[in-house]
C-alpha cells in the first residue's frame, strides 16, 4: 500500500494495532488465502483511499473510518471456540467485533459502533446509519474481491511493518 495510506492507518489506529488481539489476527485464517489481519489492513487501506479520493479530509471522519475498518472483523478471532458454524459466525461476528473495539480502544463511539455492527449489509438487512458505515461496507467488499483475485494492496512488507508496530514481533 502507499506510504500516505499506511501512515494514516497508523496515525489513527496505533492503539488498536498495538494490542495482542490485533497481533494475533495475523495468524488466524480468513477466507481462502488470507488472514484476518491481512484482510483488516486491506479494508483499512480501501477505507482511507475512499476518503482521500472523495475529499474527506477531516480528522474526525478519517479516524472513525480507520478504527471501524481495523476492528470490524476482530470478533472472528477464536471463531472455532465461539461459533458453531459459518452461518453463526457470519451472523454474530459484528456484535463480537464491536465489543472488541470498545474493549481494546476504551472508547465508545456511536458512529464506529454502528459501522461495525452493520458492515454485513446487504447480506444482513440492517443498513448502516452514518457515512463511516457505508465506507466500511464498500471497503470490506472491495478488499475481499481483491483478495479473491490475488490483487490485494497489502504486501508482505506492510504485514511486517504492522507486526513490528505491535512490539511483539521480536519475541516470536
Least distance to Fe ion, CB of residue 39, Å: 6
Write down the residue that cell numbers 473495539 correspond to: 101
| Shortest Cβ 50–Fe ion spacing (Å) | 15
Q: Quick one: 55 or 77, whose CB is closer to Fe ion?
A: 77
* Length of the chain counted residue by residue: 172
Site string for Fe ion, 47-66 (x = CB under 5 A): --------------------
Q: Least separation, in Å, of the C-beta of 170 and Fe ion?
A: 29
Least distance to Fe ion, CB of residue 69, Å: 9
Backbone angles phi, psi at 34, to 5 degrees: -140, 175
In angstroms, the CA 131 to CA 11 distance is 21
Task: Give dist(CA 10, CA 8) in Å, integer.
Answer: 5
Residue among 48, 31, 49 nearest 39 (CA): 31
Rounded (to 5) percent helix, strand, coil in the chain: 70, 0, 30
How many residues touch Fe ion (CB under 5 A)? 2
Closest to Fe ion by CB, 87 vs 172, is 87
Which listed residue (73, 132, 153, 158) binds Fe ion by CB under 5 A? 73
Positions that interact with Fe ion (CB under 5 A): 73, 140
Amino acid at each position: 500500500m502507499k506510504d500516505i495510506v499506511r501512515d494514516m492507518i497508523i496515525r489513527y489506529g496505533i492503539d488498536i494495532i498495538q494490542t495482542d488481539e490485533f497481533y494475533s489476527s495475523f495468524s488466524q485464517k480468513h477466507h481462502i488465502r488470507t488472514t484476518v489481519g491481512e484482510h483488516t489492513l486491506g479494508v483499512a487501506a480501501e477505507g482511507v483511499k475512499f476518503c482521500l479520493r472523495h475529499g474527506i479530509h477531516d480528522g474526525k471522519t478519517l479516524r472513525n473510518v480507520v478504527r471501524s475498518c481495523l476492528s470490524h472483523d476482530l470478533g472472528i478471532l477464536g471463531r472455532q471456540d465461539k461459533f458453531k458454524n459459518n452461518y453463526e459466525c457470519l451472523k454474530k461476528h459484528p456484535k463480537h467485533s464491536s465489543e472488541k473495539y470498545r474493549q481494546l480502544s476504551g472508547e465508545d463511539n456511536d458512529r464506529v459502533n454502528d459501522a461495525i455492527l452493520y458492515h454485513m449489509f446487504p447480506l444482513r438487512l440492517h443498513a448502516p446509519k452514518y457515512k463511516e458505515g457505508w465506507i466500511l461496507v464498500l471497503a470490506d467488499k472491495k478488499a475481499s474481491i481483491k483478495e479473491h483475485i490475488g490483487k490485494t494492496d497489502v504486501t508482505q512488507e506492510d504485514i511486517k511493518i504492522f507486526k513490528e508496530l505491535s512490539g511483539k514481533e521480536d519475541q516470536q
